[in-house]
């Protein structure tokens, strides 16, 4: 089979046409379910993923299609024009699965509306089903639930997952979802995934970080006016590089046939339309660290992020009153389910020399955490030859990211943020990683690393120590990491 693994910098050309979103599905009052402002980018992602699948030439076995992370049902609206228009595909059942009960409710409305319109125009039926809200990691064809009733579904011919996989943050949760995809698919079934890649939404994420820096931090008992630092993420979207995701997919019983990262763009009449689009599909992720805020206060915070976003892009080429073009990097992957698989690797092995070196530290963190009035400066100490051929199942990059983010949040003063990273191979089976940071607040490791990641480190046998060494709050965190 032909395999692509290239980086291109233009939007792929589609070989099919889809009517404007505003015409695809209308509510009873005539209002469209989807608009180019709210779902235009998502539509382009759907079309591109389908085009890449078509170009692989992979046949699709008999059976239904699973839309994993169906959201509010846009695939139901475009399938008659994109999927069912192909004779080799035909009209198949599409089952939508999503964890968000509000989106499930809307997807059911869309499914019913599109099915009825299709029947009136063609005299033919479409079968759309939307499962009750459920976590993908717990999905099973023998346990799909529709309106409270269990249904035994046949194996799926295709699992379709558009713009969802990046929202699954933890590696082990991604593996769990991929294992479920494998278990519910036929042999020879096709897996199609699109997800955000690195570099996406940089300006908007910078605005979000700046606004939250101004809110202040809190624990549940200390300051209800701020936000919960344990739940704050510098990249709520969860963008990941292509090679990492391809490796995950292939270790879970799939053969990747096509994998590509595309730089794409979409024009908005005003950048505030982009903010509205992000709010539609990502507000919960961006505002995860303020669960105590009510609806009105969350809306106010979003407006503040939008204002900061406008300020940031206004420092560049964009001027008020002009249209604005948004660019993103997106991974597109098409894979085939193999007949059998080796036991999946639960966590990838991380090459230590690819993480603990000056170039990675400089490019990986100085650029990510830099702000208007500070930058993080990391000094690295260690013998690179000691770790030259060493790897670990522990996400060392994740540890660095969490501690550096804490240092940037609680920086001692404006200007440079000094961080010292030392590593030493204690014996053949253990690496000691020591990170020193100077801040204005000394936090235990439970206040820095999110609970699910900390639980994973404990499961992997990582021993963690923490101490404060001077009055200016220099904190030292040591991690003994199994090799």
Tokens of 452: 């699910």
Radius of gyration of the chain (CA): 24
- Give the pLDDT of residue 70: 92
57: alpha, beta or left, given left = phi > 0 and alpha = psi -120 to 50?
A: left
Domains and their CATH numbers in the chain: 4-198+237-269+323-337 (3.40.50.150), 202-235+293-322 (no CATH), 350-482 (3.30.565.10)
- Give residues with Cβ within 8 angstroms of 62, minimum separation 6: 157
Q: Which residue has the tokens 């970080």?
A: 209
For residue 109, pLDDT beyond 90: yes
Query: Percentage of the chain surpassing pLDDT 70?
Result: 86
What secondary structure letter does DSSP report for 183? H
Contact 228, 289 (CB under 8 A): yes
73: alpha, beta or left, given left = phi > 0 and alpha = psi -120 to 50?
A: left
For residue 472, pLDDT beyond 50: yes
3-class SS letters over 237-255? CCCCCHHHHHHHHHCCCEE
Model's pTM, two decimal places?
0.69
Q: pLDDT category, 46, cuts 50, 70, 90? A: very high
CA 412 vs. chain centroid, Å, equals 31
For residue 234, pLDDT beyond 80: no
For residue 7, pLDDT beyond 50: no
d(CA 346, CA 77): 36
d(CA 158, CA 185): 7
- Give the pLDDT of residue 471: 67
Tokens of 89: 């595909």
Over residues 145-189, the pLDDT tens digits come to 778 788 778 899 999 999 999 888 777 788 888 988 998 999 999
Over residues 237-268, the pLDDT tens digits come to 888 878 788 888 988 899 998 888 887 777 78
CA 54 vs. chain centroid, Å, equals 25
Tokens of 470: 């001077």
d(CA 112, CA 144): 19
Per the prediction, the chain carries an average pLDDT of 82
| Cα–Cα distance list, 84 to 75, 80, 296 (Å) | 11, 5, 42
Contact 388, 353 (CB under 8 A): yes
Over residues 359-410, the pLDDT tens digits come to 666 545 544 444 445 566 778 888 888 888 788 888 887 888 888 878 877 7
Lowest-confidence segment of 200-209, 244-253, 339-348, 474-483 by average pLDDT: 339-348
For residue 9, pLDDT beyond 50: no
Contact 377, 331 (CB under 8 A): no
Across 324-352, average pLDDT? 75
Under DSSP, is residue 33 helix (H, G, I), strand (E, B) or coil?
coil
For residue 141, pLDDT beyond 80: no
For residue 64, pLDDT beyond 70: yes
Lowest-confidence segment of 51-60, 312-321, 340-349, 354-363 by average pLDDT: 340-349
What secondary structure letter does DSSP report for 224? T
CB-neighbour burial class of residue 306 (10 A; exposed 0-12, middle 13-18, buried 19+): buried
d(CA 83, CA 79): 5
Tell me the helix, strand and coil percentages in the chain, rounded to 5.
40, 25, 35
Contact 323, 270 (CB under 8 A): yes
For residue 346, pLDDT beyond 70: no
């Amino acid at each position: 089979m032909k395999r692509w693994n290239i980086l291109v910098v233009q939007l792929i050309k589609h070989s099919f046409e889809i009517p404007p979103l505003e015409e695809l599905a209308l509510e009873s009052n005539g209002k469209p379910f989807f608009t180019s402002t709210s779902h235009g980018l998502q539509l382009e992602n759907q079309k591109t993923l389908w085009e890449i699948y078509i170009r692989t030439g992979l046949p699709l076995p008999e059976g239904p299609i699973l839309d994993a992370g169906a959201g509010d049902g846009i695939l139901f609206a475009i399938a008659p024009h994109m999927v069912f228009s192909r004779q080799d595909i035909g009209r198949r059942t599409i089952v939508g699965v999503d964890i968000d009960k509000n989106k499930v409710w809307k997807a059911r409305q869309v499914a019913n509306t599109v099915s009825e319109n299709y029947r009136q125009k063609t005299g033919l039926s479409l079968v759309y089903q939307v499962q009750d809200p459920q976590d993908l990691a717990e999905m099973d064809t023998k346990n799909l639930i529709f309106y409270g009733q269990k249904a035994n579904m046949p194996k799926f011919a295709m699992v379709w997952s558009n713009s969802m996989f990046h929202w699954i943050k933890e590696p082990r949760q991604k593996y769990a979802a991929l294992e479920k995809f494998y278990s519910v698919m036929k042999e020879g079934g096709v897996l199609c995934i699109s997800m955000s890649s690195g570099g996406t939404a940089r300006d908007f994420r910078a605005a979000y970080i700046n606004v939250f820096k101004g809110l202040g931090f809190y624990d549940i008992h200390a300051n209800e006016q701020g936000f919960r630092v344990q739940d704050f993420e510098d990249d709520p979207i969860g963008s990941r590089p292509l090679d990492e995701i391809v490796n995950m997919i292939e270790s879970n019983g799939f053969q990747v046939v096509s994998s590509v990262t595309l730089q794409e763009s979409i024009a908005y009449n005003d950048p505030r339309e982009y903010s509205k689009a992000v709010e539609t599909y990502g507000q919960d992720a961006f505002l995860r660290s303020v669960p105590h805020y009510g609806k009105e206060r969350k809306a106010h915070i979003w407006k503040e992020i939008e204002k900061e976003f406008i300020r940031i892009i206004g420092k560049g080429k964009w001027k008020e009153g002009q249209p604005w073009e948004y660019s993103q990097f997106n991974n597109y992957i098409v894979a085939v389910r193999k007949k059998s698989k080796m036991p999946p690797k639960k966590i990838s092995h991380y090459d230590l020399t690819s993480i603990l070196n000056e170039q990675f530290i400089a490019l990986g963190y100085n650029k990510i955490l830099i702000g208007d009035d500070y930058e993080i400066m990391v000094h690295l100490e260690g013998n690179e030859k000691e770790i030259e051929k060493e790897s670990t199942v522990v996400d060392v990059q994740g540890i660095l990211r969490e501690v550096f983010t804490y240092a940037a949040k609680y920086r001692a003063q404006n200007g440079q943020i000094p961080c010292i990273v030392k590593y030493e191979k204690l014996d053949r089976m253990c690496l000691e990683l020591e990170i020193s940071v100077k801040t204005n607040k000394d936090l235990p490791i439970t206040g820095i690393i999110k609970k699910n990641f900390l639980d994973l480190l404990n499961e992997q046998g990582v021993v963690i120590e923490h101490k404060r060494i001077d009055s200016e709050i220099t904190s030292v965190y040591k991690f003994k990491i199994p090799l």
